[in-house]
Amino acid sequence: MTLLPIILVLLIAVVLLFFVLRDLGMMSKKQKILGVLVIFICAFGIGIYSFQKSQEDKRNFLLQMAFLRGETLMCKDQPINAKSFNLVTGTLSLIGKENTPSKNITYQLSECNIDSINNDSLQEQLEKD
């Protein structure tokens, strides 16, 4: 995630340099075409990254809501529910509660799925948006 601002700043710098050189007449037609092509490829890459990140964020949100509603999540073939685990929203992790057999066990929310009965529901909600 920290790479995105750096990439955006570099992209803006390249675009500005492209327009300055174009205005000064220091670019040939091939260089202009290549410059526009590079800008479009970078924009396409950023678009794909943003779409994938958006899908991941939606998935994590749906998993959080399911957990908070009391549904059972499956994390590495282990059933996880609110009775024995706490959700830490800052790190998107599930940590075992103190007085339970799952004490100090930690799972990342990204490793989890909604129990197989409702897994189709998660997929439908992701595809809806």
CA-based nearest residue to 14, from 57, 48, 46: 46
Helix pair angle (119-128, 29-68), 10° resolution: 140
Q: 10 Å Cβ neighbour count for 95?
A: 16
Q: For residue range 45-96, list pLDDT tens digits in order.
A: 877 888 888 888 888 898 999 888 888 899 888 888 888 899 998 888 999 9
Q: Which of 118, 121, 91 is nearest to 107 (CA)?
A: 91
Contacts for 16 with CB less than 8 Å, ≥ 6 apart: none
Going by pLDDT thresholds of 50, 70 and 90, the confidence category of residue 39 is confident
pLDDT in tens, 98-120: 888 888 889 999 888 886 545 55
Count the alpha carbons within 13 Å of 10 in the hemisphere toward its beta carbon.
9
**What's residue 127's pLDDT?**
63
3-state secondary structure string across the chain: CCHHHHHHHHHHHHHHHHHHHHHCCCCCHHHHHHHHHHHHHHHHHHHHHHHHHHHHHHHHHHHHHHHHCCCCEEECCEEECCCCEEEECCCCEEEECCCCCCCCCEEEHHHEEECCCCHHHHHHHHHHC
pTM of the predicted model as reported, rounded to 2 decimal places: 0.65
